[in-house]
């Protein structure tokens, strides 16, 4: 094999999508972590938006209770729970970046929120890979550690 061919192979983009995590917003990361957690807590390798949003909302609810107990709400420690519409936009961004892969080949596009809720996806990164690939805030780090 010529030396130039070897060099071309080494310049291929990585198979992993971990390099994309640094470009994600906190909401994008929250939805990705929620979906990745479901692989462990729900013993499933496929998720849909509704499942991931429920996990996200549950995690945020627990965080708010913990923050209130620690007196952090008065210090600006209250975390915002984003609505389904805004979270749906984040979910679609994760899919467009390839961090979510359609579980069924040839799946139809998502028309409206009903389609978004129903379509099944596989998360292309493992939960334990996320904090190693991007600097997370304390809350998101905890979501990755505490299952």
User: Mean pLDDT for each 10-residue chunk of the chain (147 residues)?
Assistant: 51 73 96 97 95 97 76 52 96 97 66 70 96 95 94
Q: Where are the domains of the chain?
A: 17-145
Give the per-residue pLDDT at 17: 87
Residue 127 contacts residue 142 (beta carbons within 8 Å): no
Question: Is the domain defined by 17-145 classed in CATH 1.10.10.10?
Answer: yes
Q: Is the dihedral of CA 124, 130, 136, 138 positive or negative?
A: positive
pTM comes to 0.79
User: Taking the chain, what is the end-to-end CA distance rounded to the nearest angstrom?
Assistant: 48
Counted residue by residue, the chain has a size of 147
Give the per-residue pLDDT at 13: 55
Give the per-residue pLDDT at 77: 43
Radius of gyration over alpha carbons of the chain, in Å?
17
Cα–Cα separations (whole angstroms), residue 79 to 7, 33, 62, 66: 47, 16, 11, 11
Residues 6+ apart with CB under 8 A from 121: 35, 46, 47, 48, 95, 100, 101, 102, 103
On the CB side of 75, CA atoms within 13 Å amount to 7
């Amino acid at each position: 094999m010529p030396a130039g061919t070897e060099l071309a192979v080494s310049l291929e983009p990585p198979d992993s999508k971990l390099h994309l995590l640094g470009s994600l917003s906190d909401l994008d990361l929250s939805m990705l972590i929620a979906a990745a957690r479901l692989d462990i807590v729900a013993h499933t390798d496929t998720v849909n938006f509704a499942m991931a949003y429920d996990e996200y909302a549950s995690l945020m609810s627990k965080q708010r209770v913990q923050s209130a107990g620690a007196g952090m709400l008065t210090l600006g420690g209250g975390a915002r729970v984003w609505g389904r519409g805004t979270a749906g936009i984040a979910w679609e961004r994760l899919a467009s970046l390839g961090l979510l892969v359609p579980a069924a080949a040839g799946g139809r596009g998502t028309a409206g929120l009903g389609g978004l809720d129903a379509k099944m996806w596989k998360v292309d990164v493992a939960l334990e890979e996320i904090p190693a690939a991007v600097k997370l805030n304390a809350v998101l780090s905890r979501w990755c550690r505490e299952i």
